[in-house]
Amino acid sequence: MALGGHALRVAAGTSGTIEEQRFRIQTVRHISSSLAAGEKLATAKAVQKHDWNRAVSEAEKIVGYPTSFLSLRWLLSDEIANVALHLRKLVGSNHPLLKTAKTLVYNDKNQQAWGLIVLLVSKAAGHAASIPEMDQDKSAGVLHSQRALAEVTEMIRTSHLIHQGIINLQSMDNAGNDLSGDSEMIFGNKMALLGGDYLLANASQQVANLRNQDLNLLISSAYRDLAESNFIGDRDEQNNPLPSKPSTAVSTLSPDCRLDELDFGDLEDNTQSMDVERALGHPEKEWSLRHVLGGGSLLGKSCQGALMLAGRSEEMQKQGYLFGRHLSLAWQACIDLQPFLLSNLPQGSQFSLVSAPVLFHLEYDPSIYAEIEKGRNSIEEIDYSSLHKAIGTGPGLERTKNLMKKHSHAAMAVLDRLEPSDARTALQNIILAMQEL
């Protein structure tokens, strides 16, 4: 509870009315108690979580301190306090923004520690001798500008997640109807829109303050990729993604792709738009494209940008992009596997219909596409339990494990090109711990 005590002292010293200070203190008390309860729960669960938590904890120590922008200076700011106050109004409304907020506060491992990765890459690669001393954070071994970029990365990622919480209140069948009875949902949409925009605006301002035009172009192209990821392939009325119809014949499985076959144009010039059309319908290419656009591009370009700020060569910057890209895809494959590690899907649970096991099994058994097509209007109409059972009997899980190993090995190969260091070891430990989740 040391964090909670420190937080309360900081909160008491912040500006604002007595009521605002009380609210901030209550907020931090709640977060501190929730974190303590979460630690006890984690201890009681499976042992494999320990390696992951330890790897992340030790990595954070190497670069100075916990790296998330969701730090005390954010939690105790007037803007975030106001957001938390308004979020209370949504309790009981079942708006998806509440689930997103809970995930961010509890630091779910599925919302990867991207800022931490950027800082570890920065420290592992070092910086050019020409960088002025005043720009260096010598205690952490990174540049002040690289730390700012790490925060930008998490802000952009978080804003994207918050924006995805906007729901469609007027589908085609409901267009033009009175929405006066949906005031809570309308308010939730406003919060999701403005909250995401607030983080995105702060991120844009922080990038501009770094005064590096090449970096500005690079991060702007990551914005574009995230936006484009929401418009690939078929969608239901809430814009939830649906897989493309398999293009191969029945029982004809495509071979696993070589890494150079997963080039969507970004391996040559990653500031240009990626080639989408040729990937749809091919399980591994479609999965890779969706998740490069939906996150891998941002992490890769942030690692590339960190090396750009360090004055490293263009070749090393490209390796930074490849590392972030492969690590993100390996992470995503690990996350995709989680629902299928259970023999039975818990009642009411869902999983991504564009996850790797689904796409691989769809190629193996195209007949399950009939079940997926029931979700054209809403993915809620799909029988996830029957899909879960079918996928568990096919080759999709094994191919997803191979997919994770392939991208993990590719990320490790990039690290092998760097000099041995505690930061490089921390990155390797994170990749190894991911295999055990």
Q: How far is CA 414 from CA 215, 311, 329, 332, 410, in A?
A: 22, 18, 15, 19, 7
* pLDDT digits (tens), the chain, 437 positions: 344 443 433 344 444 455 444 544 444 444 344 334 333 333 333 334 447 888 888 888 898 765 555 454 555 566 666 666 666 666 666 777 777 776 665 555 545 588 899 999 999 999 999 999 999 988 889 999 999 999 899 889 989 988 988 888 876 566 656 666 667 888 888 888 988 898 899 899 999 999 999 999 999 999 999 999 999 989 998 889 999 887 655 556 788 899 988 999 898 899 999 988 888 889 999 999 999 999 999 999 999 999 999 999 999 999 999 999 999 999 999 999 999 998 899 988 999 999 999 999 999 999 999 999 999 999 999 999 999 999 999 999 999 999 999 999 999 999 999 999 999 999 999 999 988 77
d(CA 203, CA 148): 9
Spatial CB neighbours of 35, under 8 Å, sequence gap ≥ 6: 3
Q: Which helix (H) or strand (E) holds 412?
A: helix 396-415
- The pLDDT of residue 360: 95
Secondary structure of residue 380 in the 3-state scheme: helix
pLDDT at 369: 93
Locate tokens 């992340």: which residue?
Answer: 56
Residues 6+ apart with CB under 8 A from 51: 432, 433, 436
DSSP code for 134:
G
User: Using the 8-state DSSP alphabet, how is residue 142 labeled?
Assistant: E
Nearest CA to 193 among 168, 224, 222? 168
Quote the tokens at residue 139: 């205690």
Q: What is the DSSP string of 211-264?
A: --HHHHHHHHHHHHHHHHGGGSS-B-TT--B-PPPP-SPTT-PPPPPPGGGG-S
d(CA 293, CA 299) in angstroms, rounded, equals: 10
Amino acid at 343: S
- Residue 241: strand pairing partners: 235
Determine contact, residues 294/226, Cβ cutoff 8 Å.
yes
CA pair distance 145, 206, nearest whole angstrom: 10
pLDDT digit string (tens) for 208-219? Answer: 999 999 999 999
pLDDT at 52: 80
Task: Retrieve residue 77's tokens.
Answer: 């700011």
DSSP 147: H
Q: Are 426 and 120 in contact (CB under 8 A)?
A: yes
Residue 275 confidence (pLDDT): 87
Domain boundaries, the chain: 67-170+180-341+348-436
The pLDDT value recorded for residue 178 is 63
Sign, Cα dihedral of 215, 412, 125, 138? positive
CATH entry, 67-170+180-341+348-436, from 1.10.287.3510, 3.40.50.620, 1.10.600.10, 3.30.70.1450: 1.10.600.10
